[in-house]
Amino acid sequence: MAGRPVKILAAYPSPSRPLIGEDLTACFGGGLPVLMAGDLNAKHVDWNSRLNTRRGKLLRNYADENSCLIFGPDTPTTNPYNSSTTPNVFDITIVKELPFPVYLTSCSALSADHLPVLIDTASRSSFQHPLDHPDFRRTDWANFQTHLEDQIPFDPELHNGMAIDKCIENFSGAVLKALAASTPKCHPRDDPWPLIPACIQDEIRLKNRLWRQWQITRDPALKAEVNRLQRSVTRRLNEWRNDQCSTTLESLDPEDQSLWRMTKRVIRVPTPSPPLVTPGGIALSESEKAEALADKLEAQFQPVTDPSVPAIIEKVDVALRSYLMTSASEPKLTNPEEVQEAIRGLKVSKAPGPNGIPNRALKHFPQRAVSLLVLIFNAILVTHHFPTVWKHA
């Protein structure tokens, strides 16, 4: 918001569980401005509830001790199904270190018992158009090679680990600059999906309004009308979606590859990503995942205290003695052909590493860049006793 990162949280603590201060601290920690919104099941007159509950008092005390501000709309956010229950304010917003004022407005746009709450700030940040990102499908690789040849250093002197580290840093920077100068930005479309026709939207709004009235009055006639509108909306939405699908299928053409792209999208089966399950439950945060992986690796890679195959042990000992007795003064250096063969074996679709260089850029390296890579690899082999060099190797 306004050029600053903001952490936005949607929260719902169950009313059957206690409000834990450690959970709130985890939400509002990290040093970023925070905006949390949701049904926190905490009532207090300070945010326009009818009464104070124990959870509301706890939340009020936590906000005072941690410099948080709590806002609630001026009108109730719930129309309960039970006519004996009074409407109240449940959906609130908590902010910390947010440099903008917050204004809340509840509206009756949907059919749920909780009214939607619009959160408005003085920041005019737009969430409709994400930041432009490079479109590597349209990279001018000839221009990339020209830029890279002009920017990479020529015949550097690599006598120690610090010189190799500096050369690697300069080489990676030159590749990224050449890639940025040769790759256009990908601009998102303004309307990627067709809008629902206005006549169907009007019918949905009418259905939602009558549903809300029925929640309050329990009039059987209103319920019958709501059911009729629900069936009508479902039927008209299905007809509209079928028309959209028919139009899309009729527009497919084998000549412009649209038919192949649609076929690939339909037959592709996504690979499931199972969660990390630990003895304490599912690992959700980054630190919990790191600890789970560390514990798993530590339990797996344990020294063998009871060897059971003497022949294999003797074979390993012979291989280790042979390796340790081999002279390291004349390492086997690499050559451009080996580097080019390794580059050709890279997967283009693989995500880039920490340096941000995609594999498809490596496949378009000019000969001068490949020669510099060979020089760097050979320097690493020669100076392998430097720990800082082994880190890059």
Distance of CA 373 to the CA centre of its chain: 33
For the ranges 30-34, 62-66, 77-81, 198-202, the lowest mean pLDDT is seen at 77-81
Number of domains in the chain: 3
**Final residue belonging to a domain, choices 121, 152, 179:** 121
Judge contact between 248 and 263, C-beta under 8 A.
no
> Nearest CA to 83 among 216, 220, 222?
216
Q: What is the pLDDT of residues 97-125, one digit of tens each?
A: 888 888 898 887 777 777 889 998 877 66
Which are the contacts of 277, defined by CB distance < 8 A and separation ≥ 6?
283
Instruction: Mark whether 22 and 107 lie in a shared domain.
Output: yes
Q: Of residues 327 and 185, which shows the higher confidence score?
A: 185
Q: What is the pLDDT of residues 265-297, one digit of tens each?
A: 888 887 778 888 888 888 888 888 899 999 989
- Please tell me the distance from the alpha carbon of residue 169 to that of residue 354, in angstroms, as a whole number: 12
Instruction: Mark whether 167 and 103 lie in a shared domain.
Output: no
Instruction: Mark whether 233 and 147 lie in a shared domain.
Output: no
Instruction: Mark whether 18 and 74 lie in a shared domain.
Output: yes
Residue 281 domain-assigned (yes or no): no
- Write the DSSP assignment of 258-320 as a string of letters: HHHHHHHHHHPPPPP---EEETTEEE-SHHHHHHHHHHHHHHHS---SS---HHHHHHHHHHH
Judge contact between 98 and 33, C-beta under 8 A.
yes
Torsion of CA 57, 58, 59, 63, to 10 degrees: 100
Predicted structure pTM score: 0.46
Coil/strand/helix, residue 216: helix
- Please tell me the distance from the alpha carbon of residue 162 to that of residue 154, in angstroms, as a whole number: 18
38 strand-pairing partners: 92
| Overall residue count recorded for the chain in this entry | 393
Instruction: Mark whether 90 and 158 lie in a shared domain.
Output: no
Coil/strand/helix, residue 356: coil
Q: What is the mean pLDDT of residues 14-28?
A: 85
Residue 80 domain-assigned (yes or no): yes
pLDDT more than 90, % of the chain: 19
Q: What is the mean pLDDT of residues 357-384?
A: 84
Q: What is the mean pLDDT of residues 30-34?
A: 87
Residue 349 domain-assigned (yes or no): yes
Q: What is the mean pLDDT of residues 358-373?
A: 87
Q: What is the pLDDT of residue 328?
A: 57
Give 371's pLDDT tier (boundaries 50, 70, 90): confident
Instruction: Mark whether 157 and 260 lie in a shared domain.
Output: no
Q: What is the pLDDT of residues 347-363, one digit of tens each?
A: 887 888 888 888 888 88
- Please tell me the distance from the alpha carbon of residue 235 to that of residue 247, in angstroms, as a whole number: 19
Give the range with max mean pLDDT: 159-163, 307-311, 327-331.
Answer: 159-163
- Residue range of the domain that includes 17: 7-121
Specify the CATH number for the domain of residue 86. 3.60.10.10
Tokens of 314: 């003797």
pLDDT higher than 50, residue 337: yes
Q: What is the pLDDT of residues 55-89, one digit of tens each?
A: 999 999 999 998 899 999 988 888 776 666 778 88
pLDDT higher than 60, residue 254: yes
Instruction: Mark whether 18 and 115 lie in a shared domain.
Output: yes
- Please tell me the distance from the alpha carbon of residue 163 to that of residue 361, in angstroms, as a whole number: 24
Residue 375 domain-assigned (yes or no): yes
Q: What is the pLDDT of residue 200?
A: 93
Q: What is the pLDDT of residues 291-314, one digit of tens each?
A: 999 998 998 888 777 667 788 888
Instruction: Mark whether 113 and 14 lie in a shared domain.
Output: yes
- Please tell me the distance from the alpha carbon of residue 26 to that of residue 98, in angstroms, as a whole number: 17
Tokens of 351: 């995500």
Coil/strand/helix, residue 257: coil
Q: What is the pLDDT of residue 392?
A: 41
- Please tell me the distance from the alpha carbon of residue 393 to that of residue 387, in angstroms, as a whole number: 10
Helical ranges in the chain per DSSP H: 21-28, 54-65, 141-151, 161-182, 198-217, 220-251, 258-267, 286-300, 310-325, 336-344, 359-362, 367-382, 387-392
Instruction: Mark whether 97 and 148 lie in a shared domain.
Output: no
Instruction: Mark whether 36 and 101 lie in a shared domain.
Output: yes
Residue 68 domain-assigned (yes or no): yes
Per-chain mean pLDDT for the chain: 83
**Final residue belonging to a domain, choices 121, 145, 171:** 121
Residue 258 domain-assigned (yes or no): yes
Q: What is the pLDDT of residue 37?
A: 94
Greatest CA separation for the chain: 94
Residue 80 C-beta-side C-alpha neighbours within 13 Å:
9
Q: What is the pLDDT of residue 83?
A: 65
Q: What is the pLDDT of residues 223-252, one digit of tens each?
A: 999 999 999 999 999 999 999 989 988 988
Residue found under tokens 């880039």: 352
Q: What is the pLDDT of residue 327?
A: 63
Residue 63 domain-assigned (yes or no): yes
Tokens of 117: 């709450």
pLDDT higher than 70, residue 191: no
- Please tell me the distance from the alpha carbon of residue 113 to that of residue 85, in angstroms, as a whole number: 12
**Final residue belonging to a domain, choices 250, 267, 284:** 267
Residue 318 domain-assigned (yes or no): no
Q: What is the pLDDT of residue 389?
A: 38
Instruction: Mark whether 98 and 139 lie in a shared domain.
Output: no
pLDDT higher than 70, residue 47: yes
Instruction: Mark whether 68 and 17 lie in a shared domain.
Output: yes
